[in-house]
Amino acid sequence: RFTEVAHMLLVNLRRFRVPVLLVRNKVDQDIENAMEDHGWTRDQTLTHLRADLARCGSIDVGEVFLIAASKVLGSGHREPLLLDFHRLEEALVYCTLRGRCEGPFYWENRELEDRPSLRHICTIRQDWAMVLLSQSDHCGKFSRAQVIEVQRNENAALYKEFLQMRRHLTRTYQDGVQSLQPAIDAEFLINGHVNEVFLWHGTGSTAMEIILSKGFDERVASVSHNLYGSGLYFASQSCKSLQYASTGAERCLILCRVLLGNVFYAAGAIGAAIRRPPCVQGCPHDTPCLHERHDSVVANSGVGMQVHREFVVHNRRQVYPEFLIKFRM
> Which pLDDT score is estimated for 94?
58
Lowest model confidence (mean pLDDT) among 13-27, 70-84, 202-216: 70-84
**Residue 308: pLDDT band by 50, 70, 90 thresholds?**
very high
* Residue among 142, 300, 155, 166 nearest 228 (CA): 300
> Which pLDDT score is estimated for 47?
81
* Residue among 61, 48, 19, 262 nearest 10 (CA): 19
Q: Are 152 and 121 contacting, i.e. CB atoms less than 8 angstroms apart?
A: yes
Alpha-carbon span 290 to 203, nearest angstrom: 35
Give the rounded percent of residues in the chain with a pLDDT score beyond 70: 82
> Which pLDDT score is estimated for 18?
65
Mean pLDDT computed over every residue of the chain: 82
Alpha-carbon span 191 to 251, nearest angstrom: 29
Residue 106 has pLDDT above 90, yes or no: no
**In the predicted model, what is the mean pLDDT of residues 71-92?**
65
Residue 14 has pLDDT above 70, yes or no: no
| Segment 169-201, tens digit of pLDDT | 988 988 889 999 999 988 898 888 899 999 999
**In the predicted model, what is the mean pLDDT of residues 281-288?**
81
Write the CB contacts of 178 (distance below 8 Å, at least 6 apart in sequence).
262, 263
> Which pLDDT score is estimated for 117?
62
C-alpha dihedral over 98, 55, 310, 161, to 10 degrees?
Answer: -30
User: Full-prediction pTM beyond 0.85?
Assistant: no
Check residues 314 and 44 and name the one with the higher pLDDT. 314
| Segment 44-74, tens digit of pLDDT | 888 888 878 777 766 666 678 888 876 655 5
Give the rounded percent of residues in the chain with a pLDDT score beyond 90: 25
